[in-house]
A and B are shown apart, each in its own frame.
Chain A
């Protein structure tokens, strides 16, 4: 087997910042080569260089032994490289077949499209690689897993021999993930080269042949998947040993804080997003909602935080310590002792152009203790900012002037958590995807802070698509599917099943699909 991609001395600088420095790497033909690393380690930059979206400042890329100089993705595609992006590049109103041939129609400008031949070739690829998709189906009607298959078929249709997958499992259910891995293995066995970018170490160990770990723009090491372990990889990624599993002392739940009874949620189009949803969260416990995204989690959050889009109808009851939440505005709900970290941090939780301390204040700016005159008390604000930076290990240089956008995702999320966990008189904390896009090192801090809040007697509702996180933190686990809690694991069951995590994940997986 030859070398599919060889990088020699690749560096990429943006201004003074080196996203990649002096990277040399050989990716063998016919292997699955994983690139792992924390956010900002330079994985995306490196793949963008391979895919021709960025040009290296220094160094050389060669594909199948030939040095290349890509100036656009078009060059990379012609050289047999394909990429499945994290966010799919499909046109919803076209059929699967049309999407697959788009940009490579095998026909002249005014010729008829050879639809029949194309469909036949799609069918053949589909059969060969386990990529079942109805070529006639509109992409908008496909599931996320099917959309991803369309993306892979697109690459096969273009005869790509090197395929880059950017965080392909982020949106998949556990069973879809298994399916994808089977496809990846088949592709490899047929001689394709797979470059897999991810931060999920379990998956890397399960599917990859070779693993390269990136840290701070450099390759920290490359090794065979068979001869490494998860803790070893984690340590390489972060640069120090990390606790992969937070210590979770037994909880002592108190009275019911959040009480949701028969909640029904109908969108303006008449789509029913919540079906008779019922659940209770007690003080001092973490109730984890496990589920694949799009099963009503977002709607539940909207309902609980008074952010219903126009035209939705909400029936049922949701109360905090006996006081109803329904029909209240976010500012009123906050005053009831409810705190929320939204699932979409960048869009909903922070103002990117505001400073670090401005963001620690945002949403809590109505609290009297921060006020002075018509503005804010800068002494109080500085003290609070410094306290939070120390407590949550937030990495920033000048919090009073530095815009939040200059911080890494993990540090941004720590700011949101610091702000929300420290609201005065908080009795209910709603956490949606609290560690999405956050580095392993920061996850450790965040999980510890969540446990700490629970121990203080705060009721916590945790919504996460990461089963590992749910299992690690939750006292009770509710499985959410199509807008309802279809199964609930009691605290005793959770404690018991935790010991064989893999089995537990599978069991939860059955309930949420």
Chain B
């Protein structure tokens, strides 16, 4: 009971304090905080287009957050979501561009989505293999794999697949495009929100079921909590390291599909823009719980897009500061809470 309230209270308290700090920064920058927050609201949830933009970003963040959260439950810190996102996006773009244009939409989308998930999963499993076989710390290997992913996609784009005199690939076939919510329902103006948005809560729910309701999750969490006890319990810890990374990487691939197939329709240099790292923040704020991640992603989605809408008045970097402060506060408050309980 006590623990449950703390789990809820700590993130809330962190967000409130971070907002207070940002108010202060806005004041110091010589702007009226009330005006800024008002404009932010109008630009985001205050308009159909803004709501769609927030939903679009939230979708990616839910999926990327999950890609960090699942390995986190096995005590693996996946810093590699960014690289997994890039590999997934590039794979989806390549697949989508090479498919025959006559292919039915359902198969085209499925093929591209699977390509994205597969590429993300493989990239993550690589870090898992390094850990299980050679004992390489996953923090180090995933960071290195981020650089390698950046290098590979950059090279392939520049020297082989870029449309001449641009920095992007040729677009995917029309059938591979995930339809936008606007094109089907007429809601959310012409925002990039697409059908992935409806999918992402289902994925979060699926992750929750896997982790907390299945035998597989029972073993997986035990491996994370006490790896040695898990071995005594006859659990194959190495297998769980690989699958946790693999499933995480696949989720990052899905996030890439949302951006590529639902919005950009081609691969462009720098298109993932650090969303993979924001995913770490999303997972941490939610305590790596798949269901709370939906709220946490919404919060970061609001900040990300809200920051853009008021960029004319105040640099959007301020909202990056809020994000970072929130995470630092969550970690500090959790540590503090534990000490108080002792």
B149-171 residues at the A interface, CB under 8 angstroms: none
Q: Which segment, of A351-359, A451-459, A473-481, faces chain B?
A: A351-359
CB distance from B248 to the nearest CB of A (A): 19
- A389–B214 alpha-carbon span in the complex (Å): 24
- Stretch from A135-143, A280-288, A341-349 that touches the partner: A341-349
| Smallest beta-carbon distance A24→chain B, Å | 27
Q: What's the least CB distance linking B171 to chain A, in Å? A: 40
Q: State A362–B232 Cα separation when bound (angstroms).
A: 10
Q: Measured between C-beta atoms, what is the minimum distance from A417 to chain B in Å?
A: 15
A330 contacts partner chain B, Cβ-Cβ < 8 Å: yes
B218 interface residue (CB < 8 Å to A): yes
| Residue from B215, B222, B342 within 8 A of A351 (CB atoms) | B222
B226 at the interface (CB under 8 A from A): yes
Could you tell me the distance in whole angstroms from the C-beta of B213 to the nearest C-beta in chain A? 5
Residues of B within 8 A of A362 (CB): 222, 229, 233
CA distance A512 to B216 in the complex (A): 45
User: Shortest beta-carbon distance, B209 to chain A, in Å?
Assistant: 8
Contact A348 B229 (CB under 8 A): yes
* Contact B214–A349 (Cβ < 8 Å): no
Chain B binding surface, main DSSP class: helix
Contacts of A331 in B (CB 8 A): 234-235
Residues 343-380 of chain A: 1 if any B CB is under 8 Å from the residue's CB, otherwise 0? 00001111111100010011101100001001110000
Partner of B234, one of A15, A363, A371, A375: A363
In contact, A330 and B215 (Cβ under 8 angstroms): no
**Which B residues between 205 and 233 are near A, CB-CB below 8 angstroms?**
209, 213-216, 218-219, 222, 225-226, 228-229, 231-233
Docked pose: A371 CA to B214 CA in angstroms: 10
Q: B185 in the interface, Cβ–Cβ < 8 Å?
A: no
| A349 to B230 Cα, complex, angstroms | 9
| B216, B232, B342: the one within 8 Å of A363 (CB) | B232
Separation of A342 and B215 alpha carbons in the complex (Å): 23
Number of A-B contacts (CB under 8 A): 59
Within A320-339, the residues touching B (CB, 8 Å) are 329-331, 334
B341 contacts chain A at the CB level, 8 A cutoff: yes
Q: If A330-B234, A363-B234 touch, does A347 touch B215 (CB 8 Å cutoff)?
A: no
Residue of A329, A334, A362 ringed by the most chain B CB atoms within 10 A: A362
A351 cross-chain contacts in B, Cβ below 8 A:
222, 225-226, 229
Question: Is A365 a contact partner of B232 (Cβ separation < 8 A)?
Answer: no
State whether the Cβ of A307 lies closer than 8 Å to any Cβ in chain B.
yes
- Give Cα A362–Cα B219 distance, bound, in whole angstroms: 8
Q: Quote the shortest CB–CB distance from B133 to chain A (angstroms).
A: 12
Is there an interface contact between B231 and A330, defined as CB atoms closer than 8 Å?
yes
Please give, as numbers and ranges, the residues of chain B lying within 8 Å of A352 by CB-CB distance.
225-226
Known interface pairs A347-B229, A375-B213, A376-B215. Does A329 touch B222 (Cβ–Cβ under 8 Å)? no
Contact A365 B226 (CB under 8 A): no
Docked complex Cα distance between A348 and B225 (Å):
11
Q: Which residues of A sit under 8 angstroms from B216, Cβ to Cβ? A: 374
- Cβ of A340 < 8 Å from any Cβ of B? yes
Inside 8 A of B225's CB, which chain A residues have their CB? 351-354
Is A347's CB under 8 angstroms from B226's CB?
yes
A371 to B218, CA, bound (A): 12
Cα–Cα distance between A508 and B222 once the two chains are bound (Å): 40
**Please, which residues of chain A bring their CB within 8 A of the CB of B342?**
14
A15 contacts across to B, CB distance below 8 A: 341
A51 within 8 A of B: no
Q: Mark A3-30, 1 if CB is under 8 A from B, else 0.
A: 0000000000011000000000000000
- Shortest Cβ gap from B207 to chain A (Å): 13
Q: Does A70 contact B (CB under 8 A)?
A: no
A98→B9 CA distance, assembly (Å): 49
Q: List, in ascending order, chain A residues with CB within 8 A of B222's CB.
A: 351, 354, 362
Residues of B within 8 A of A307 (CB): 231-232
Does A265 belong to the interface (CB within 8 Å)? no
> Is A165 close to B, CB under 8 A?
no
A350 surroundings in chain B (CB, below 8 A): 226, 229
**Nearest chain A CB to B44 CB, angstrom units:** 38
A453 to B252, CA, bound (A): 52
Tell me the complex Cα distance, A80–B225, Å: 42
Contact partner of A375 among B214, B228, B341, CB < 8 A? Answer: B214
Hey, which chain A residues are within 8 Å of B215, CB to CB? 365-366, 371, 374-376
Residues of A within 8 A of B226 (CB): 347, 350-352
Q: Are A340 and B341 in contact (CB under 8 A)?
A: no
Q: How far is the CA of A14 from the CA of B231 in the complex (A)?
A: 34
Residue among B209, B229, B234, B235 making CB contact with A349, cutoff 8 Å: B229
CB distance from A291 to the nearest CB of B (A): 22
Q: What separation, in Å, do the CA atoms of A329 and B342 have in the docked complex? A: 39
Q: Looking at the assembled complex, report how far the CB atom of B58 sits from the nearest CB atom of chain A, in whole angstroms.
A: 28
A374 to B210 CA separation, bound complex (whole angstroms): 9
Closest-CB distance, A390 to chain B (whole angstroms):
24
Question: Do A349 and B341 touch (CB < 8 A)?
Answer: no
Say whether A129 faces chain B, with CB atoms less than 8 Å apart.
Answer: no
CA distance A253 to B342 in the complex (A): 50
Complex contact B213–A365 (CB within 8 A): no
Q: A365–B222 Cα gap in the complex (Å)? A: 12
**A330 — which chain B residues lie within 8 A by C-beta?**
231-234
Contact between chains at A376 and B229 (CB < 8 Å): no
Given B209, B218, B231, which contacts A365 in the complex, CB threshold below 8 Å?
Answer: B218
B321 to chain A, nearest CB (A): 34
Closest to A350 in B: B229
Within the assembled complex, what's the spacing in Å between the Cα atoms of A329 and B214? 23
Q: Give me the interface of B with A, judged by CB distance under 8 Å.
A: 209, 213-216, 218-219, 222, 225-226, 228-229, 231-235, 341-342
Q: A352-B225, A365-B233 are in contact. List 4 more A-B contacts (CB 8 A).
A: A307-B232, A348-B228, A351-B226, A374-B214
The contact sample of 26 A-B pairs, CB cut-off 8 A, is A307-B232, A329-B234, A330-B231, A330-B232, A330-B233, A331-B235, A340-B232, A348-B228, A348-B229, A348-B232, A349-B229, A350-B226, A352-B225, A354-B225, A361-B218, A362-B233, A363-B233, A363-B234, A365-B218, A366-B215, A366-B234, A374-B209, A374-B213, A374-B215, A375-B213, A375-B215
Q: 10 tightest A-B contacts by CB?
A: A331-B234, A363-B233, A330-B234, A374-B214, A348-B232, A375-B213, A351-B222, A348-B229, A375-B214, A351-B225
